[in-house]
Chains A and B, each alone.
Chain A
Amino acid sequence: MDFQIWTFYLSQILIYCALALSLNLLLGYAGQVSVAHAAFGAIGGYTVGYMMTIHGWGFVPSALFGMALAFGVGVLVSLPAMKLSVEYLILLTLAASSIIIGVFTTIKDLGGTYGIISIPNITIFGWHMERKSDWVIPTLGVAIIVFAICWRLGESAFGRVLKGLREDPLATQALGKNVFGYKVAVFGITSGLAGLAGAMYSGWLSLATPGLFGFAFSLTIFAMVIFGGMANLTGSLIGATAVTLLDPILKRVIKIEASRASVIQLIVYGLALAILMRLRPQGVLPEGRTIWSYIRRRKPQTRMEMITEDWVPETKVVIAGGHEADVREQARRESRWHGAPVVLEAHGVSKSFGGIVAADDLHMELRKGTITALVGPNGAGKTTVFNLLTGFIPPDAGSVRLNGKELVGLAPDKVARLGLVRSFQDVRLFQRISCLQNVMLAVQQQYGENVGRLFFGPLAVARREAEVREKAMDWLRFVGMSNFAEIPAGAVSYGQSKLVSLARALATDAEVLLLDEPASGIDTKWVDSMLDLVEAVREQGRTVCIVEHNLHVVGRLADHTYFMELGRITAEGTIDELTNSPRLAEAYFGTA
């Protein structure tokens, strides 16, 4: 075999690896579908071609400049991508790709449809690239750099937020993460890395042409990532290698005639993609698995055996009493509520949707170290209140003050960072990451969420990451789920996921917690354990508000209860006072 030819393939593999790795950070970790990755590579490639042939720049500054340009364009493209669903994201990146390549194709200085075809004499740090085989070292260097960056970003606190973004952007925002900023950052960074790889590609081939970076190539890179496994960087290396080597294997090993081989190659990889989706949609190397784990035949932990009928959480929390409060106890709690300082105050909050009033002039107070309940018939708008308080739905009028600070007008993540965190009725755990990672994601102000610190303060990052892990583990222990720390959240039972979601809310350290039906859907055998936990949270001095249909739960937990009907709060007091009112009974159960 010809040495030159195999080094040629090796360089090609390395460049494809760099492209696939960077796309994986975007697609696999952050869940942002992009079919424009080759076009971002084109920005790097054309910059190298243009700056070197027209302006006589050196290769290295040209490549860095191209990378910066690609970063900038990536940021621009990310801005409209914010609120778009998958199909529109495909369309947006398709448009971006067509525009970028279209512009390059039409600018005369860039060679039009022919592109830039003779990039001269490349020197990298004083080393002349005379033969193609000289390129192995620089392309290897770039592949390693890109791998290192993607690994550092992906497998860190930063990457954890990216995965949250992929799984459930709304829940991520509810935990106080600036979803917008992360999206812009990941688009920018991955585009920049694609630009760098594109610059190497053009330098290596001495070419920058529209065909080289066309839509078809974007799809190929996309396929490499899917094939190798999303959110698995080693998988991307495998994907890029497999796709590249298909060509020499067909041509040189099976010895198919060249033009036929390129056709068969595409058939093979197209079919492989379709079959893979059917048989192994998570890719050759699924998220979280290493080649080692296959060699040593170590199956990932599932602990399915623990999710049995008679499972109960091993919480250390035991609250004396543990039954519904009688009238005297209720009166005592009510007076405690009145004596406690107001933490959160909603005043005159209103909201209507197209003429339908969802909330009408709401006034409510949450007081320190107490549990306030919000009850009312179906469709009264209780969950809407949570959405209004936390900024997920901006109110039309009124104010919400947390310790005197106005929350209306703030984004939900900002509200969460100020100390008001809500849980969701339908739990919304991040399904494909472990229970522990779910809780770790909730910890505020993480050192490793900052890109700069990840690279320039590795020791501090590692130390802080260990702290975050320990803290998250403590909360999992608190809810009795520490045995499930490494299990993906999607694999635990519904009731258990409610416990993890409580741990997640607690790990934010928020002063005020809004819990949407904390006890619904939980096995009756340990529903009391869940209520014990909520009471324990109150004992910690936190302020809790629950929405609950089950009035026994309310009777057990609440210090003060608001009654809501048709978007209005119409009564408040102890649960006994409310249930003794004939009028409220009528509102709740209707009249004959």
Chain B
Amino acid sequence: MILAANVSAEAFAQLTASGIFAGAAYGLLGVGFALILGVTGRFHFAYSFTYTFAAYMAFTFWDRAGLPFWPASILGILVAAALGVAIERIVYRPLAVRAGATALLAVFVASLGIGIAGENVIALFWSSQSQAFGGRKAHFTQDVWHIWKVNFLNWDVYQTVTGLVLVLILAALLRYTSLGRQIKATRVNPDLATIIGINANTVYLICFGIGTFLAGVAAFWYGVQFTVEPSMGQRPVIFAFVVAFLAGTASGPVRVFFTGIALGLVEKWSSMWLEVRWTNTAVFVILFLYLISKSLQGKNLFGWLKLARA
């Protein structure tokens, strides 16, 4: 049957821990995606490609170019961020200007194409096999920590903490700096932002840079823990979409991050009642229910009219 048996307290604690760890990765990805979609309105499907690209670039700088581990990793992530910025500048912006009202669909399609092509370019240059990223030279060894009866991997903890720290830095940036205010202003009221002389194009590029950077960090930790492969971006990025939409793409980074953690918890906890093979589907059922509730309360037609007129 679908329902599984009772769960012990230890197992519950272990599931909670792994839920938080998995959720922190979803959350970080969601924050980046929400920043991009919320501010620029681009449905950036190629986010999965830049994610994968970051891990591969870090891997290449370290393994092939022989740079030390940390500089190589940071450089790799930055190169991926530059790629994200380039995609916005070279592909999305001219497309959106041309497509006008149908920009969202046009950008989505182009993004889809870039994502598919990019993933396979990686496969072409690095082979489509998965590769060990961190383990081989034991630069970064796995370590198991115990707290009470729960096992932690040191990587899990590092990943969650870096994620949290980056999200808090982003939140502070948005709150306390002029750049952050300009980003928020562009999200809240793009028309007025242009009127007071904020250059929306620059803000968009910055959001792509930040968003892609965050995804790159998530990809780096994923690579450290598992292996890198061209298709590694697909599943986590779909989770990032889900997180960003559940939290609301206009919400702040902290809220999006914790929505990610909540989703991780739901995914892991649901294995207490559901067989593991159902848990993935459970997440999408939640998303589906959320969308149903959204369409039920809906925007009322007045909101619709106003939107359509604006």
Given contacts A94-B241, A99-B281, A83 and B115 within 8 Å (CB-CB): no
Q: How far is the CA of A103 from the CA of B111 in the complex (A)?
A: 28
Is A87 positioned at the interface, with any CB of B under 8 Å from its CB?
A: yes
A91–B287 CB distance below 8 A? yes
Q: How far is the CA of A264 from the CA of B123 in the complex (A)?
A: 9
Cβ-defined partner of B128 (8 Å) among A92, A96, A259, A270: A259
B288–A92 CB distance below 8 A? yes
Determine, out of B52-60, B101-109, B188-196, the stretch whose residues face the partner at the interface: B101-109
CB distance from A357 to the nearest CB of B (A): 14
Q: How far is the CA of A103 from the CA of B274 in the complex (A)?
A: 13
Q: How far is the CA of A70 from the CA of B29 in the complex (A)?
A: 33
Is B172 positioned at the interface, with any CB of A under 8 Å from its CB?
A: no
Among residues of A, the one whose C-beta sits closest to the C-beta of B249 is A87
Given contacts A96-B288, A277-B95, A281-B99, A272 and B113 within 8 Å (CB-CB): yes
Chain B: interface secondary structure? helix
Q: How many residues of chain A are within 8 Å of chain B by beta carbon?
A: 53
B43–A98 CB distance below 8 A? no
Is B299 positioned at the interface, with any CB of A under 8 Å from its CB?
A: yes
A88–B275 CB distance below 8 A? no
B124–A263 CB distance below 8 A? yes
Among residues of A, the one whose C-beta sits closest to the C-beta of B128 is A263
Given contacts A105-B277, A263-B124, A277 and B113 within 8 Å (CB-CB): yes
A95–B110 CB distance below 8 A? no
Q: How far is the CA of A106 from the CA of B104 in the complex (A)?
A: 34
A222–B120 CB distance below 8 A? no
Contacts of A223 in B (CB 8 A): 109, 112-113
Given contacts A84-B294, A91-B245, A106-B277, A267 and B121 within 8 Å (CB-CB): yes
A84–B301 CB distance below 8 A? no
B123–A106 CB distance below 8 A? no
Is A51 positioned at the interface, with any CB of B under 8 Å from its CB?
A: no
B299–A270 CB distance below 8 A? no
B302–A266 CB distance below 8 A? no
Contacts of B117 in A (CB 8 A): 266-271, 273-274
Q: How far is the CA of A86 from the CA of B281 in the complex (A)?
A: 23
Cβ-defined partner of B305 (8 Å) among A80, A170, A278: A170
Q: How far is the CA of A91 from the CA of B238 in the complex (A)?
A: 9
A273–B116 CB distance below 8 A? yes
Cβ-defined partner of B116 (8 Å) among A79, A266, A353, A426: A266
Contacts of B91 in A (CB 8 A): 274, 278
Contacts of B99 in A (CB 8 A): 281
Q: How far is the CA of A8 from the CA of B119 in the complex (A)?
A: 28
CB distance from A553 to the nearest CB of B (A): 22
Contacts of B168 in A (CB 8 A): none
Given contacts A102-B284, A106-B277, A170-B305, A264 and B108 within 8 Å (CB-CB): no
A88–B94 CB distance below 8 A? no
Contacts of A83 in B (CB 8 A): 295, 298-299, 304
Is A436 positioned at the interface, with any CB of B under 8 Å from its CB?
A: no
List of 10 A-B pairs having minimum Cβ-Cβ separation, nearest first: A270-B117, A273-B113, A102-B281, A270-B116, A274-B113, A277-B110, A98-B284, A266-B120, A80-B292, A80-B295
Q: A91-B291, A168-B308 are in contact. List 18 more A-B contacts (CB 8 A).
A: A80-B292, A81-B295, A84-B294, A86-B105, A88-B294, A99-B285, A106-B277, A170-B301, A219-B112, A264-B120, A266-B116, A267-B124, A271-B114, A273-B116, A274-B114, A277-B113, A387-B301, A387-B302
